[in-house]
Amino acid sequence: METKYKASHTEDELMETKHKALQTVDELMETEHKALQTEDELMETEHQSHQTEDELMETKQKDRQTVDELIETKHKALQTVDELMETEHKALQTVDELMETEYNVRQRPPYR
């Protein structure tokens, strides 16, 4: 009878151990699932980070292009200013010549 009791007790302990082992397996599977979820989230974050980096590079390239265009526009504006100043200079020369001609005409004696 005592052997039967010990065997029954051992069987109960084995069942308890088996139950704990199954709980441990469940916990490990849950941990693995969470780890895989975390890995997926990290990969998504990395993907978004790369997208953001690509967008920033594209924005930087567009900004450089805009700066180049602004420099070109400024250069053309300065050329236009130079041309306008040259035209103004020629106009002032023409005015000076006309005033000199007018002065010379007034200095001549009248026709008789």
Confidence of residue 103 (pLDDT cuts 50, 70, 90): very high
Q: Scanning the structure block, which residue is given the tokens 């005015």? A: 95
CA dihedral 95, 96, 99, 104 (to 10 degrees): -140
Min mean pLDDT across 3-7, 10-14, 85-89, 105-109 is at 3-7
Share of the chain above pLDDT 90, in %: 82
* Model confidence pLDDT, tens digit, residues 42-69: 999 999 999 999 999 999 999 999 999 9
| pTM of model > 0.85 | no
How many residues belong to the chain? 112
Q: How far is CA 32 from CA 19, 36, 40, 109, in A?
A: 20, 6, 12, 116
Other beta carbons less than 10 A from residue 66's beta carbon = 10
pLDDT value for 24: 98
